[in-house]
């Protein structure tokens, strides 16, 4: 890494392109993960995750990250010229408001505050989708279907984290194009009588039961309570998502185990719906922070069976691979790719 040439005048990006270093971020409802892409680097470095609760907003968190990085790099530190932020919300217009946190920011004001020539803001699952073609086998754990999907076909990614993200990736003559959406807010459907009873229990509190309402960090406690109600059990004090997972994996709590199995089954049905809707014959990938915590229990769950259980289209879905993304930095890689495309 060469020392920053602070005396060199900054030229307009239209003349020099998106010069590095780049500030990358994957900002969810709970945490903001920052990374750094220096000149000549192939992958983000100096990755740091900061809690959203500890900072007034994304710009404040970014300043905290950059201050730490400046202290670490010393004279080799060079202020970022451009940034790409993947955010857990729909992106439209200058004002960005997060769905599952109190954060909001102005793109123009933040770009000026951080001294950036370019601030690209994209949906977090748009960024995750863009990472898919570059993922290596060691960044994935496959779960059913063939080793490869149909070449030249659409890919899809879903991810239960604080919320539930969904996106597609389409092959075009000009390269891959990400298609972000808000599929997590589509209505969740039942595949059997137990699902139907759980959804009916939830509808007593919520008129619309979206997929995110149950298949997310904010949804697991509600799913746990609904499963208890259907089974005729009196649940104790409400549990957090982490407590439900820990109860299933560590203490052997039967109700938590049934909740996690129900979560995986419903997620499989939802993933199959996404595959059919997008025609994602190239593969369906699972991101987010919840499923990796389930470990082997996920891979012994009804997820794949439910994914394929679509009647006359079972064979269609059997030919589609599904895989868990195990690399927590994949969205940063996708953000960098988006910025790379922006500079061409």
Task: Indicate the DSSP class of residue 310.
Answer: -
Number of folded domains in the chain? 2
Q: Do residues 71 and 166 both lie within one domain?
A: no
CATH number of 273's domain: 3.40.367.20
229, part of any domain? yes
pLDDT digits (tens, 9 = 90+) for 299-340: 999 999 999 999 999 999 999 999 999 998 899 999 999 988
- Tokens encoding 130: 């863009």
Q: Do residues 53 and 119 both lie within one domain?
A: yes
Give the model's pLDDT for residue 235: 63
Give the model's pLDDT for residue 323: 97
In percent, how much of the chain has pLDDT > 70?
Answer: 94
Q: Do residues 281 and 190 both lie within one domain?
A: yes
Cβ atoms of 231 and 223 closer than 8 Å: no
Check residues 270 and 5 and name the one with the higher pLDDT: 270
Q: Do residues 144 and 88 both lie within one domain?
A: no
Domain span at residue 169? 136-326
2, part of any domain? no
Q: Do residues 84 and 183 both lie within one domain?
A: no
Across all residues in the chain, what is the average pLDDT?
Answer: 90
* DSSP E strand boundaries for the chain: 22-27, 31-37, 45-51, 82-87, 95-97, 104-106, 118-123, 140-142, 155-160, 164-172, 175-180, 283-286, 322-325
Q: Do residues 223 and 252 both lie within one domain?
A: yes
CA–CA dist 140, 290 (Å, integer)? 15
Q: Work out the angle at residue 329's Cα, subtended by the Cα atoms of residues 246 and 247, and round it to the nearest 5 degrees.
A: 5
Is pLDDT at 15 greater than 50 in this prediction? no
C-alpha distances in Å from residue 185, one per residue of 130, 166, 194, 261, 288? 21, 10, 21, 21, 16
Give the model's pLDDT for residue 4: 64
CA–CA dist 61, 256 (Å, integer)? 35
Please give the average per-residue pLDDT across 236-251, as a whole number: 91
186, part of any domain? yes
Q: Do residues 102 and 199 both lie within one domain?
A: no
Give the model's pLDDT for residue 234: 72
Is pLDDT at 72 greater than 80 in this prediction? yes
Q: pTM for this structure?
A: 0.88
Is pLDDT at 1 greater than 60 in this prediction? no
Q: Do residues 108 and 173 both lie within one domain?
A: no
For residue 144, what pLDDT band results from cuts at 50, 70 and 90? very high
5, part of any domain? no
CA–CA dist 133, 136 (Å, integer)? 9
Is pLDDT at 6 greater than 60 in this prediction? no
7, part of any domain? no
Q: Do residues 334 and 286 both lie within one domain?
A: no
Give the model's pLDDT for residue 266: 98
CATH number of 21's domain: 3.30.420.40
Give the model's pLDDT for residue 16: 39
Please give the average per-residue pLDDT across 175-187, as a whole number: 91
Is pLDDT at 228 greater than 80 in this prediction? yes
Q: Do residues 47 and 151 both lie within one domain?
A: no
pLDDT digits (tens, 9 = 90+) for 76-118: 899 998 999 999 888 888 999 987 788 899 999 999 999 999 9
19, part of any domain? yes
6, part of any domain? no
Give the model's pLDDT for residue 328: 86
CA–CA dist 249, 126 (Å, integer)? 31
Task: Indicate the DSSP class of residue 39.
Answer: T
pLDDT digits (tens, 9 = 90+) for 109-143: 999 999 999 999 999 899 999 999 989 899 999 99
Query: Minimal CA–CA distance to 289: which of 143, 164, 160, 184?
Result: 160
Q: Do residues 144 and 79 both lie within one domain?
A: no
Q: Do residues 175 and 258 both lie within one domain?
A: yes
1, part of any domain? no
Is pLDDT at 14 greater than 60 in this prediction? no
């Amino acid at each position: 890494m060469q020392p920053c040439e602070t005396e060199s005048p900054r030229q307009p990006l239209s003349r020099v392109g998106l010069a590095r270093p780049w500030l990358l971020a994957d900002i969810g409802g709970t945490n903001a993960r920052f990374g750094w892409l220096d000149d000549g680097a192939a992958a983000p470095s100096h990755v740091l995750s900061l809690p959203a609760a500890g900072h007034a907003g994304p710009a404040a968190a970014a300043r905290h990250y950059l201050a730490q990085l400046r202290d670490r790099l010393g004279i080799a530190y060079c202020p970022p010229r451009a940034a790409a932020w993947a955010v857990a919300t729909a992106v439209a217009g200058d004002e960005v408001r997060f769905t599952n946190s109190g954060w909001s920011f102005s793109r123009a004001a933040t770009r000026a505050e951080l001294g950036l020539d370019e601030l690209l803001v994209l949906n977090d699952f748009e960024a995750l989708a863009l990472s898919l073609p570059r993922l290596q086998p060691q960044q994935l754990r496959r779960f059913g279907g063939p080793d490869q999907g149909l070449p030249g076909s659409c890919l899809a990614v879903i991810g239960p984290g604080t919320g539930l993200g969904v996106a597609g990736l389409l092959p075009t003559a000009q390269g891959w194009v990400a298609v972000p959406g808000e599929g997590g807010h589509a209505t969740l459907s039942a595949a059997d009588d137990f699902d139907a009873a759980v959804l009916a229990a939830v509808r007593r509190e919520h008129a619309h039961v979206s997929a995110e309402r149950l298949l997310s960090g904010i949804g697991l406690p509600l799913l746990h309570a609904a499963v208890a109600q259907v089974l005729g059990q009196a649940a104790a004090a409400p549990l957090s998502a982490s407590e439900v997972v820990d109860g299933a994996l560590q203490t052997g709590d039967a109700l938590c185990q049934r909740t996690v199995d129900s979560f995986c089954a419903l997620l499989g049905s939802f993933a199959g719906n996404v595959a059919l809707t997008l025609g994602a014959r190239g593969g369906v990938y699972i991101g987010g922070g919840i499923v990796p915590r389930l470990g082997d229990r996920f891979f012994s769950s009804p997820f794949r069976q439910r994914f394929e259980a679509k009647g006359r289209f079972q064979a269609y879905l059997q030919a589609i691979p599904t895989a868990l993304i195990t690399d927590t930095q994949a969205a940063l890689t996708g953000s960098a790719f988006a910025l790379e495309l922006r500079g061409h």
